[in-house]
Amino acid sequence: MTTSHTFANLEIRIQEHQEQGYKVDFTLNHEQEFGPGRLDPSAQPDLTGVPADDGQALLTWLLADTTLQKAWERIRGQYPRRRLRLRIDADAPELHALPWELLREATDGTPALDLAAAESTPFSRYLAGAWQPGSPILQRPIKILVAIANPTNLQERYKLAPLDVDKEWADLQQVTEGVNVKLTLLPQPCTLAALQAELKKGYHILHYIGHGAFSEQQEKAVLFMADEDNQVALVSDSELSEVLATQLSGSDTQREDTLRLVFLASCQTATRSPADAFRGLAPGLVAAGVPAVLAMQDLVPVDTARAFSRVFYQQLLSHGLVDLASNEARAALLAAKKPGAAIPVLFMRLREGVLLAQEGRITSSRSAAAFWPFLLDKIYDSKCTPFLGPGVTKGLLPQPETLAEQLATQYEYPLPDRRNLARVAQYMVINAGHESLRQTYLEQLQKGLYTALGESPPQAARGGRRRGSSDTLTLTQTIDQSGWVERILKLQENEIHHRLADIEFPLYITTNVDNFMLEAIKHKQRQQIEAGERKNAVDVRREGPRWQPEAGRPKYTLDPDPDLDHPVVFHLNGYDDGGLQEENLVLSEDDYLAHFARISHDQETILPTNLLGMLSEHTFLFLGYKLEDWQFRVVLQGLLDRIAQAGSDTKLHVGVQLAIEDAPDIEKAQAYLEDYLKRFNISIYWGTTQQFVTELHTRWLTYLAKKEAAG
């Protein structure tokens, strides 16, 4: 399984029909908004039944608004590889019936591109709701339950062809051969009760094969399952959805064998009622909490469904991306000229489309077997400090590269390195001043947060924080008043700040300005108080450097010392307090150079001595950094150059690093990073920050359980 597929993320959102048409906007990488534009219902094309013509007509209609067309062209030029997620709001259910999987882009001088079949544009539909996107499957073997409904009286009573159970089973066995997959065939008869009982044993994927239909009159889907005598039993979409919803709501969130994908190789299981976006089996399963559902929106030929399934699983088990596998399977149908290539529909909530993943690879002076026990022992002894970089807020706030581009456009930055925030910020300081930079920076973070939460910023937040105005919100206030700490738990299954708060460290150091970590710790402490596990009131502090040392007091300490009862979140680069911390935010190149000089030569003056003492004894976790980041370089070279190497026999530092994808020689680039960080006694976890924190949290719970069992 590879992680070499990198895509931008483009959400196409179509909202309810208003007087001027449907409102449409684009959101790029969960951060940058384009639009709004309008979709004119009176111009909706009449579909001819010719897939290529219909797909081109649908895209032309979607992009008829010049605002949307220009945004599309800009995004396409900048990100030719982009994940497409079509979000049709529940207030526009009539648009769900259109075959968006036919979307086809034909531009002069280039071959036409079927967007839902191209390798460069993984395509899925998305239904918004208060549910978690689901985390990737790390457990092996991957457990797949195959349910084939083949009642004996299908043909006699309903004129439906019987299924070849042996053939279907053999095909799935063949496609998963040689892969770490455990296939289980549900014995006949395939009843709803038997399916429910088997799912309770824990499966990652349910693959259902059977006949289905959609009743326009009753506006519901039905499956032709079996009763105890293997006679046809009609099971409604709501009945199956209820079974899965009950199982998902009652399952332990820490279980690794929670259902992640349902594949419905059955006719008309994706069809939706024009009166309700959540009618129909596939949307119902999405509402029940299944992160990914593949279903059929029309009558599908058996050969088409079988060919799609075969390629889909081959590709999914190769790279783990469910939307890309769906595109590749559709492309195979088109190449083979099989009918019904647009019939399979993928509904997906998974971020980045990752359904299957592997645990990160560790490069360390210690063996892999010794790495985790050593790290967990350090955490248990309160001798570990996480350092939080910008990547920790991915999906919550705009990332530095996105912010740099936004500011470069706004201030007409003339140089080519428009994605380098420190350099763009330096240009802003020269042309607009430090205060304007800080205000604009915080304003963009606020707007990004509202975008991530799916909201429009209130009037008080739109202008940023202007001094002297009492009706404006700081970023800290925005995070607090938006209810982020509670809402994010419904949207992200393994939110990084909450997972780190759950593990509990005495000290958290961040180079970010947000208060996500502070709020997550407060939430954890409130839970402990409610459970009777904590007697003290909520007690967590937010601190920053002493930018102006007091006369006659060159050194200072944090009082009380940071510990598990009194944890501290220390903002190394300042935060938005409206005072000295905000005035000294480290953003531009000159800021970083000055900050480097301060913390490398005068660290005992601007940083608490007990904090420095803790760092000299602690193991470090670097989360959300890139090697080339100014933030990381200043921390590493300025603050920790000597500290990180002190006591190297009893310390282990970990840097989480994304796999390198764009270097001419990937192996040499990885070896360079490993050699460079080895100088600081830093081991590398090759994977994502989310992946590392999720794995750390899982191992931590197991570690604690063993400690408690041992007494």
* CA nearest to 469, candidates 578, 385, 365: 578
506: Cβ contacts below 8 Å, ≥ 6 apart: 382, 385, 562, 563, 564, 566, 567, 568, 614
Residue 297, Cβ neighbours under 10 Å: how many? 25
Task: Find the mean pLDDT for residues 154-176.
Answer: 91
Task: Find the mean pLDDT for residues 597-621.
Answer: 91
φ and ψ at 611, to 5 degrees? -65, -45
Stretch (H or E) spanning 530:
helix 516-530
Facing residues of 24 across strands? 14, 37
For 111-162, give the DSSP string: --EETTT-TTS-EEEE---S----PPB--SSEEEEEEE---TTHHHHH--PP
Q: Does position 89 have pLDDT exceeding 80, yes or no?
A: yes
Q: Tell me which of 3 and 303 has the higher pLDDT.
A: 303
Average pLDDT of the residues of the chain? 87
Q: How confident is the model at residue 133 (pLDDT cuts 50, 70, 90)?
A: low
Q: What share of the chain is helix, strand, coil (3-state, %, to 5)?
A: 40, 20, 40
Q: How confident is the model at residue 363 (pLDDT cuts 50, 70, 90)?
A: confident
* pLDDT of 663: 60
Q: How far apart are CA 121 and CA 108, in angstroms?
A: 19
406: Cβ contacts below 8 Å, ≥ 6 apart: 32, 398, 444
Buried/exposed 83-122: b ≥16 CB within 10 Å, e otherwise = bbbbbbbeebbbbbebbbbbbbbeeeeeeebbbbbbebbb
Q: What is the per-residue pLDDT across 650-673, written as a single tens digit (0 to 9) for each?
A: 667 888 876 555 566 767 877 888
Q: How far apart are CA 504 and CA 523, in angstroms?
A: 12
Amino acid at 395: G
Q: How far apart are CA 399 and CA 391, in angstroms?
A: 7
Q: Tell me which of 616 and 267 has the higher pLDDT.
A: 616
The alpha carbon dihedral of 122, 77, 454, 570 has a sign of positive
* pLDDT of 322: 97
Q: How far apart are CA 667 and CA 285, in angstroms?
A: 43
* pLDDT of 161: 86
535: Cβ contacts below 8 Å, ≥ 6 apart: none
β strands within 377-489, DSSP E: 384-388
Least confident segment among 284-298, 459-473, 476-490, 664-678: 459-473
- Domain assignments of the chain as residue spans, ordered by start: 8-121, 142-353, 361-709
* pLDDT of 280: 65
Q: How far apart are CA 557 and CA 155, in angstroms?
A: 81
Q: How far apart are CA 508 and CA 618, in angstroms?
A: 12
Q: How confident is the model at residue 467 (pLDDT cuts 50, 70, 90)?
A: very low
φ and ψ at 91, to 5 degrees? -80, 0
Task: Find the mean pLDDT for residues 151-177.
Answer: 92
Q: How far apart are CA 270 and CA 239, in angstroms?
A: 16
Q: Does position 245 have pLDDT exceeding 90, yes or no?
A: no
Q: How confident is the model at residue 182 (pLDDT cuts 50, 70, 90)?
A: very high
* pLDDT of 642: 66
Q: How confident is the model at residue 1 (pLDDT cuts 50, 70, 90)?
A: low
Q: How far apart are CA 654 and CA 377, in angstroms?
A: 14
Q: Does position 436 have pLDDT exceeding 50, yes or no?
A: yes
* CA nearest to 245, candidates 199, 200, 311, 289: 289
Q: How confident is the model at residue 464 (pLDDT cuts 50, 70, 90)?
A: very low
What are the start-end ranges of the H helices in 211-280? Answer: 237-250
Task: Find the mean pLDDT for residues 562-585.
Answer: 94
Facing residues of 321 across strands? 354
Question: What own/partner pairs with CB < 8 Å and gap ≥ 24 does 390-393 have?
Answer: 390/511, 390/512, 390/624, 390/625, 390/629, 390/631, 391/623, 391/624, 391/625, 391/626, 391/689, 392/496, 392/497, 392/510, 392/512, 392/516, 392/623, 392/624, 392/689, 393/512, 393/514, 393/516, 393/624
β strands within 135-289, DSSP E: 142-148, 181-185, 205-209, 212-215, 220-226, 232-236, 261-265
Q: Does position 383 have pLDDT exceeding 90, yes or no?
A: yes
Least confident segment among 215-224, 246-255, 696-705: 246-255
Q: Does position 444 have pLDDT exceeding 60, yes or no?
A: yes
Task: Find the mean pLDDT for residues 102-127.
Answer: 92
675: Cβ contacts below 8 Å, ≥ 6 apart: none
* pLDDT of 660: 58
Q: How far apart are CA 251 and CA 245, in angstroms?
A: 10
* pLDDT of 458: 66
CATH 3.40.50.1460 is held by the domain 142-353: yes
Residue 439 and residue 473 in contact, taking contact as beta carbons nearer than 8 Å:
no
* pLDDT of 250: 55
Q: How far apart are CA 393 and CA 520, in angstroms?
A: 13
* pLDDT of 551: 56
396: Cβ contacts below 8 Å, ≥ 6 apart: 448, 449, 452, 488, 514, 516
Residue 102 and residue 58 in contact, taking contact as beta carbons nearer than 8 Å:
yes
Q: What is the per-residue pLDDT across 252-276, written as a single tens digit (0 to 9) for each?
A: 444 567 899 999 887 545 554 444 4
Q: How far apart are CA 353 and CA 27, in angstroms?
A: 16
Q: Tell me which of 602 and 82 has the higher pLDDT.
A: 82
Stretch (H or E) spanning 347:
strand 344-348
* pLDDT of 688: 84
What's the distance, Cα to Cα, between the start and end of the chain in Å? 40
φ and ψ at 13, to 5 degrees? -110, 125
Q: How confident is the model at residue 325 (pLDDT cuts 50, 70, 90)?
A: very high
| Paired sense of beta strands 261-265 and 205-209, if any | parallel
* pLDDT of 550: 67
Q: What percent of the chain lies above the pLDDT cut of 90?
A: 54
Task: Find the mean pLDDT for residues 56-81.
Answer: 95
Q: Tell me which of 18 and 573 has the higher pLDDT.
A: 573
Q: Any idea how long the chain is?
A: 711
Facing residues of 85 across strands? 11, 124
Amino acid at 417: D
Burial of 241 (0-12, 13-18, 19+ CB in 10 A): buried
The alpha carbons of the chain give a radius of gyration, in whole angstroms, of 27
* CA nearest to 388, candidates 471, 291, 512, 481: 512
Q: Which of 49-58, 106-115, 275-284, 641-650 has the highest mean pLDDT?
A: 49-58
Q: Output the six-digit token pair for 695.
A: 């794995």
Q: Tell me which of 405 and 246 has the higher pLDDT.
A: 405
* pLDDT of 55: 95
Q: Is 17 helix (H, G, I), strand (E, B) or coil?
A: strand
* pLDDT of 475: 92
